[in-house]
Every structure is written in C-alpha cells, then in structure tokens.
Amino acid sequence: MAQQIADRRDIDFVLHEQLNVDQFSKSEKYAEFNKKTVDLIVSEARNLAVKEILPTRSEGDEIGCKFENGKVIVPELFRKPYELLCEGEWTAMPEDPDYGGQGMPRSVTMAAAEYFNGANYAFMMYSGLTHGAGKLVEAFGTDEQKRIYLKKMFTGEWGGTMCLTEPDAGSDVGALTTKAVPNGDGTYTITGQKIFISSGDHDLVENIIHPVLARIEGAPAGTKGISLFAVPKIRVNDDGSLGEPNDMSCVGIEEKMGIHGNSTCTLTFGEKGNCIGTLLGEENKGLRAMFLMMNEARLLVGMQGFACATASYMNAVNYAKERIQGRNLLEFMNPDAPGVAIINHPDVRRQLLTMKAYVEGMRSLLYYVAWCEDKADTMDDEKEKEKYHDLIELLIPIAKGYVTDRAFDVCNGGMQVYGGYGYIKEYPQEQLMRDCRITMIYEGTNGIQSMDLLGRKLGMKKGKLVMDLMGEIMAVTGAAKQIDSIKDYAVKLEEALNKLGEVAMHMGKIAMSEKVLTAFAFSYPFMEVCGDVVMAWMLLWRAKIAAEALEKAKKKDIPFYEGQLKSAQYFCNTVLPATLGKMNAILATDGAAIEIDEASFIG
C-alpha cells in the first residue's frame, strides 16, 4: 500500500471554497496568483514531495545523521531533493523574488508546506530553519548584512539556525551565559555553548549563518541584557566570498526518538577565543528580535505536527478499507459470513471519524492563520490590519500547542487502526508518531504556549483580541443557524462559545489575584478548551460551505460535502459536551496541584 501525504481535495476546499485565496490576486502584491496559478503551484509541490522527498523518509530515518571527525554528515539520499528544492525556489516561497523567493501568498505556501513536511519534515527542517534565520537578517540586519547573507540564505545556498538553548538555560532564556565582547571594530568575540540546535551543522551547504543570543559584557542580567548576533560558520569576505573557518564547532549530535534525518547539535563558540560575530539589531534587544520571528516558527511547528497527523490519517483510512478481518457485527453469529474490511467495524469508524474531524479542523486553522497575514498585507485600512495581526497573535499558541497535541493523538489513532502492524517499522505509522512527538516540545513546550495564551494574549489590549475572535466565530454561527441541516451544531457551538467567554473572564480575574499560581495550573486546560471551540468553529464554517454547495454539487463531490457535515456533527455532538465539562472544572479552579506538598510526590 502506497504511503499517503495529504488530501488534495480538502486542500483545494480550504484554499478556494473556505478562504477564497483567489481574492489576493486582485491586489498589486499578489496579482499573478490567480486560481490557475495557485493550483499549478500546489500540483508542482505535490509532485516534488511524492516523487523526490517521500522516498527519503523511511530510509533517512533509518540511516540518520552521522558525526565523524567533528563533521556532521546527513543521509546521502537527501542531496538530490535538496538541490531540487533550491532549484525550484521552494526554500523561501513568500519572500521577495529579488532575494530568491517566489513572492506568493502565505496561505498558498501552507499547501506546499503541508506536502513537503508530510513527505519528510526532518529533511525539510534544514531549509525551514534557514528561512527563519533569513527572516531575522531581513528584519534586523544592516544593509551590509542583508547584502552578504540574505539571498544566499533564502535560496538555500547557505544554511541557518536559531541558537537559543543552553545546558542550564532551556526555556529560561534569561539565564543564558554565552558572552559577547566588543572588539572595537563593530565585531564581537562570542564565547559559549548552545544545545539542541536543529540543523546546527551539516554538509548540505557550504556555510551556515547562526543567529546567536548572547550577553554583551556589562549588560543587564536576565532577558533585558540579551543581544542577537550573526555568527557564520565560515567567515565571509566583503565581496561575499568565503574566508577562513570561524572559531566554532559542533561537538556532538543527539540520538533522538524521532526526526533522525535532522541533525540536532551541540555547538561551541570561541574555544580558541576567536569566534567573530556581528550585532543583529540593537544591543540588549535580542530576545525581542528573536520572538518577533517566533510566530512564524511556531506556526511551522504546528504544520510539522499536523503533516504527520494527516499522513497518518490517510494511511489509516486506506489500510482500513483494505484490511479484511472479522465478520460484520450484524453477522457475528453467522459462521458462514465473509470477513469484512475493518472500516466496517463501529469502533474503527469512530477512530477514523475522530481523526478526520481533527485533521480537517487543524488544516483550516493553520491555513487561516497564514490567510490572516495575507489579509493584513493586502489592506489599506490600518484598523483592519491590526485586527488580523491580533488574531494571529491570539491563535498562535493554539496553532502550535493545541494542534501538536491533537496531531499526536491522531498519529496515535493512526497506529491503533493498523493494530500490531502499526507498531512495526515495516509500516509508516510508528515513524510518523515518533517524529510528531517533538513538536509538542520545541519552539516553546505546549505548557509554555498555554502560559502565553493566559498570561499575555488573554489580557492584551484589554481583551480586544479575544472579543475580535469571538466576533469571527459568532459570524459563522449566525450564518449556520439559518441552514436547517446544521443549525443544531451552530447552537451547540454558540453555547460553548458563551461558556468560554465566562471561563476567560474567570481566568483573567484569578490570574490577577492571590490565586495566580492556581490560575496557571489551569492554563493548559484553558488552552485545550479554547482549541476545542476553535476546532468547532472551523468545522462549522466548513459545514456551512458544504451545506450550501450540496444544493448544486456534482455527483463526485457529494460524498466529500456530506463528509464535512458529519465532521461538524460528530465534533459538536460528541466532543463539545466534554469540553463544557472541562470548562466547569476550570471554573471550579481546584487548588490541589498548588497545595500539595512536594514531598507527597515521592512514592
């Protein structure tokens, strides 16, 4: 059975029927990206993913990266698809063509990214990290830094990373010890060590530019004294040619549960006292600069987790249709009854529908966040621009935290459908599950995402972000209530939304009280219920479109549209009632997690 990556019919539905991305071609910025062009882009991305990247997933996982004589060697079979990725200008799809990008809408890039990451996201991390590092250079670099670095990074000729984490300063970035000493000529000598650096060193490219967080000698303690530096693996001459190796090295790579094809490195800077970097942005504002890029990085992580989930779901559906095992339950007592495909068994159908609903809702959410950026880019009204940027800010913790949690659940379900075969390496499900797991941890653990949602996003602009989001959801519920086939689901979502408003006010209040620790003990459940409501919103929105389309649908499209109604029905009738129960628990805000004595945790 061939491995699957993504559902083209559903991708087209989100792009063209739900988000209407063709609207952006009416703007000067995206004038060339009409529906025909968008469809061509998605088709080309699919071809590259299926023919060139997907064949590297299993073997790349088995071979893994090697660390020999101080050098990191990636699987040899990565080289051809990497060259094709660069030749096709897929490494910086939404960026300025003058710097090697394609200048396409971000919502369209999500479709290509889904195919690429679904094919092998460990491989895609090399170009993904480079793009993120390039965005830092673009946003904060001097004209000279942009001239030297930017095009070579966006085209994939050079690589890039994000160097934050240290052995004793994981999520607590303010505790970092990496130092920067000014040399008097505009450069700095960097000394320190960074760990868990994805794509930190490898042989796919001839140079790697490392954005490194460090503290300038004499700077304030904590996060207020952190600066950001561009530190190349190989020094670059004024004319852009490569000079001498910088005083930095990879001292080891991690053996990991998943993403074996990506090098996770420990990097040492300045062992000989001669690691040279240049300031990227302003002194003592490095963390702020790095976090401006976090929205994009966290959305990418959500996509990585989701890409594993959608591939696992599609594999599971096809397997369930082909795997013959057991009689139909209605014929269970008939010894002569033939065996049936397992998709006929009620519990398997329940598992598949659960996976289907989450996969469809997650796809719509991730694409929607990118679409909000496109909307803001193509608007003149500053208040409307602000609204869409605010929606992105509020939804990012859900797009990263909630999505990767549910993506792992989907991968777990995908393994379960296969039964024992899902647990062995001969089939793709176990690797998808292993690869998915890290997405719940890096770029800020999902617990940190929930704290960001409660501690920062909930109260921003006196709650305006939350009110804007609720307004968007109410617009869908209001329209859906006018359609007989889905009005009951709209009522269920409306009830959950009203309850969520009550929960949000409660959480905001106790987070500002003496019970602040108890409030943050419930930040994760709060993120979960917010995510459930957002999923229901996306599924109801999809169901509304499908219900209207069914009136004049072609025969071949009827099952797809009817499936959208069933996804919304299942989620609103089966998942949302449990969500309301979670909300009641949050409103009770039991203090056991804070009150329990530390000694009580010892068995």
Instruction: Please enumerate in sequence order all residues whose Cβ is within 8 A of that of 317, keeping only pairs 6 or more positions apart, or say none.
Output: 343, 352, 356
Dump pLDDT digits (tens) for 71-93: 999 999 999 999 999 999 999 99
Q: Which helix (H) or strand (E) holds 127?
A: helix 106-140
Lowest mean pLDDT among 269-273, 285-289, 446-450, 566-570: 285-289
Mean pLDDT over 107-122 rounds to 97
CATH 1.10.540.10 for domain 8-154: yes
Mean pLDDT over 449-457 rounds to 96
> Buried b vs exposed e over 338-350: b needs ≥16 C-beta within 10 Å?
eebbbbbbeebee
**Mean residue pLDDT across the chain:** 95
- Using the predicted structure, report yes or no on whether residue 333 has a pLDDT greater than 90: no
Residue 176: band (very low, low, confident or very high) from pLDDT cuts 50, 70, 90: confident
- Using the predicted structure, report yes or no on whether residue 354 has a pLDDT greater than 70: yes
- Using the predicted structure, report yes or no on whether residue 349 has a pLDDT greater than 80: yes
What is the structure's pLDDT at 332? 84
Mean pLDDT over 113-131 rounds to 97
Amino acid (1-letter code) at residue 81: P
- Using the predicted structure, report yes or no on whether residue 336 has a pLDDT greater than 90: no
Q: Which of 114, 166, 443, 528 is catalytic?
A: 443
- So what's the architecture of 159-287 in CATH? Beta Barrel (2.40)
Which CATH number applies to 293-444? 1.20.140.10
Dump pLDDT digits (tens) for 201-233: 999 999 999 999 999 999 998 889 999 999 999
pTM exceeds cut of 0.75:
yes
Domain boundaries, the chain: 8-154, 159-287, 293-444, 446-594
Mean pLDDT over 363-388 rounds to 96
Indicate the SS3 state at residue 112. Answer: helix
Share of the chain above pLDDT 70, in %: 99
Dump pLDDT digits (tens) for 258-301: 999 999 999 999 999 999 999 999 999 998 888 778 888 999 99
Residue 443 annotated to the active site: yes
- Using the predicted structure, report yes or no on whether residue 603 has a pLDDT greater than 80: no
Q: Cα separation of 493 and 271, whole Å?
A: 58
Lowest mean pLDDT among 333-342, 397-406, 530-539: 333-342
What is the structure's pLDDT at 171? 67
Is there a contact between 227 and 213 (Cβ–Cβ < 8 Å)? yes
- Using the predicted structure, report yes or no on whether residue 170 has a pLDDT greater than 70: no
Residue with tokens 């059975």: 1
What is the structure's pLDDT at 295? 87
What is the structure's pLDDT at 408? 98
Residue with tokens 């009770």: 588
Q: How many CB atoms lie within 10 A of CB 212?
A: 29
Amino acid (1-letter code) at residue 5: I
